[in-house]
Structure 1
Amino acid sequence: MPPIDDKYTNKLIQKELTYIQKVWHTVAIVALLVVTILIARVAFNVLLMVLAGVLISVYFHGLGDMIQRKTQWRRRVCMIISIGGTFVLLGVLFWFMGSKISNQVAVLSDTLPHTISNAKVKMNETPIGRKILEYLADDNSDALMTTAKSFFSTSFGVLGNIYIILFLAIFFTSNPNLYKDGMIKLVPETRKPLAHQVIDRISFALKGWLKGMMLSMVLVFILLSIGLGIMSIPVALVLALLTGLLKLIPNFGSLAAMIPGVLLALTISTNTAIIVALMYIVIQTIVSNIVTPIIQNKMINIPPALTILAQVLMGTLSGVLGIILAVPLLAIVMILVDELYVKKITDIDIVIVPERSQP
């Protein structure tokens, strides 16, 4: 029997141990990755609520900055006017319009089922309408309802989200430098100027988005209130308010807000419904493509196709809150990519090109 080579046996044992260690390392990495993805999926809604709180805080500070520029008063006084004035204005609006809106909401809830029945009768008179009704009458309607419910669901419920967002906004508004300096402390010393620049640019872009969005909501509400009132459309004030609020959701919100207005116009006549639909389209087009870009002054320049893709993705991940915050979140991502990647590559090219041109 030949003698056993101890060195050879030890090498085999070491190889087996090394292979087992690599397998366990791979399993650990995959498990860590899966856990990280699951945590990120759960925490993503929390991050969106933080972003919503930041937006409210940006609004208060932006309004305070404007008051300070106009009056030259102290910062604390301007912020008190900004926050207190906003809540007082909202309270006055709800007090003046509350009873009228509540009456119109009651009328709308009573009228809408009858309006939908009339719309079905009118759609049955055309071949295209019959096809649409057949599609909705099948199992597709259940699928659409299930999709809509999941699409507009949130992690903690609407009221819970609003409660958390308001508290975050209060904390961010009361002492913004505390959180800003805390983020900058996480950055290496050599990158702190870049961190200040990125945060300032993000703040500037979010202020621009808020200015354009708020003015768009007010203008849409005023113009639609006047237009629907002239056309003698029932519950015109509620329809205009709903359209103004849904302006928070670009593209899809305008389409969703037009549906009840056109349905109610059908109770009067088909021509009235066509005129109301054209009114919605014209007002939304003017506000979205002319007024809003002028106010934002190219503070935030995002391609429309990219906006729609971001909304679809965010809606799938986080429901209605994701759709509302898709544009500001996309703006933040684009700024980060531009500051941390594009400008860095450009600077490298500027340094390298002259060296290549030397003889």
Structure 2
Amino acid sequence: MSLTQHKQTAERLILALLILALAAALWMLRDVVITAFAAVLVAVLLREITDLLHTRLRMPPGVALAGAVIIAFSVPIGAAWLFGREVSVQSTLIAQAIPGAIDRLGQLLDPIGIGDAFRHAVQNLLDPAMIANRVGGIASSSIGVILHLLLVIFGSIYFAAQPRLYRTGLVKLVPPKGRELAGAALDTVGVALRRWLLGQLAAMALVGLLTGVGLLLLGSPSALTLGVLAAALEFIPYLGPILSAVPAIAVALVHSPQQAVWVAGLYLLVQQAENHLIQPLIQQRAVDIPPALLLFGVVAMGTLFGAAGVVLAAPLAVVFYVLVKQLWVREALHTPTPLPSED
């Protein structure tokens, strides 16, 4: 083997070791990585509002960014101020209704012989000692959650203020011959995330509105709170709609099994409308991720990153899907495939 071949082998070995070291470091810092990604996602929204204010209202870039920050963070604060008390009261009513719903469901299960087993399982789940342990764990981690939220807020502002700076920095980490492709891939991911996020926010608003109005028409208590919950959990694919339906059905079950059936039917109808009408219309220019890929993406992200991974599974899947299409399918396999930045 010649000296040149030895040198090439050594360079490849060093590169492989560096990649493994980077992967290990990212795994050890996975909490920071997922927090940084959340900040990037919020920055995408801030940048969209900033560009809108800058182009439509002719605001200077710095003023437009300040306006975007005020708008983005004042909307949830304003909603909490307007509806917070009502939501708090309705949440209390929901919590009070759950024991009655459990008892009613146990009675319905008695004829088939599993009512006692159901009650026993729920009693173990709601055991005061277990609840105290969970509350203690939540309290001990609350400071960490607050710190991560602050990191997301301030990180998103920094990312939105100078997106080109961070894009250039990432591109420079790539060898010179691959920098043009890396820059194009980052731009494509940016377009995909922006379209997906705007579409998802619109879908969440429509689902929350349809659910709240439907529950109100059915005479279900706490319609406002349950509508807000449905909108918020719509961000989580597959699991979110199920989690939002459980308290609504439990509250309805206190009144009658028939009411619970109507409420369950409403949630099913809203989800069918969301799957076959709302999402296709809103996300038609975004990334069309295959359902099975998104489903297992939720499982994978939950396994890797815990609850935060489940919440951010959909946008993470968007990033991975776009990168695979551009870097592997198109560039490595030379197979034509559409990208969000090209339509």
TM bucket (normalised to shorter chain) is 0.7 to 0.9
Deviation for aligned residue 1:57: 0.1
5+ residue gaps, structure 2, are 1-15, 337-343
Deviation for aligned residue 1:306: 0.8
Match of 2:81 in 1: 95
Match of 2:145 in 1: 158
Distance 1:119 1:160, change over 3 A: farther
Match of 1:85 in 2: 71
Match of 1:46 among 8, 19, 32: 32
1:204 aligns with 2:185: no
Deviations 1:214-245 (A, max 9, x none): 11211111111111112121211111111111
Instruction: Look up the equivalent residue of 2:272 and give its one-letter code.
Output: T
304-313 or 340-349, which deviates more: 340-349
Pair member with larger Rg: 1
Match of 1:308 in 2: 295
Deviation for aligned residue 1:88: 2.5
Distance 1:221 1:90 in 2: 15
Match of 1:133 in 2: 118
Distance 1:132 1:217, change over 3 A: farther
Deviation for aligned residue 1:39: 4.2
Deviation for aligned residue 1:348: 9.1
Distance 2:65 2:230 in 1: 30
Distance 1:78 1:236, change over 3 A: same
Deviation for aligned residue 1:161: 2.5
Match of 2:92 in 1: 106
Instruction: Look up the equivalent residue of 2:111 and give its one-letter code.
Output: E
Contact 2:102–2:119 (8 Å) recurs in 1? no
Match of 2:102 in 1: 116
Instruction: Look up the equivalent residue of 1:169 and give its one-letter code.
Output: S
Instruction: Look up the equivalent residue of 1:213 and give its one-letter code.
Output: Q
Match of 1:266 among 242, 246, 253: 253
267-276 or 117-126, which deviates more: 117-126
Match of 2:160 in 1: 173
Contact 2:329–2:335 (8 Å) recurs in 1? no
Deviation for aligned residue 1:141: 10
Match of 1:76 in 2: 62
Contact 1:216–1:288 (8 Å) recurs in 2? no
1:67 aligns with 2:40: no
1:237 aligns with 2:249: no
Contact 1:45–1:155 (8 Å) recurs in 2? no
Deviation for aligned residue 1:292: 2.1
Match of 2:7 in 1: none
Match of 1:55 among 37, 41, 47: 41
1:223 aligns with 2:194: no
| Equivalent residue runs for 1:175-194 within 5 Å | 175-194=162-181
Match of 1:332 in 2: 319
Deviation for aligned residue 1:138: 11
TM-score, normalisation: structure 1: 0.77
Distance 1:298 1:130, change over 3 A: farther
Distance 1:51 1:238, change over 3 A: same
Match of 1:280 in 2: 267
SS of 2:220's equivalent?
A: coil
Contact 1:120–1:133 (8 Å) recurs in 2? yes
Deviation for aligned residue 1:137: 6.8
Instruction: Report the count of equivalent residues.
Output: 312
Instruction: Look up the equivalent residue of 1:81 and give its one-letter code.
Output: G
Contact 1:53–1:166 (8 Å) recurs in 2? yes
TM-score, normalisation: structure 2: 0.80
Distance 1:54 1:36, change over 3 A: closer
Deviation for aligned residue 1:179: 1.1
RMSD: 3.2
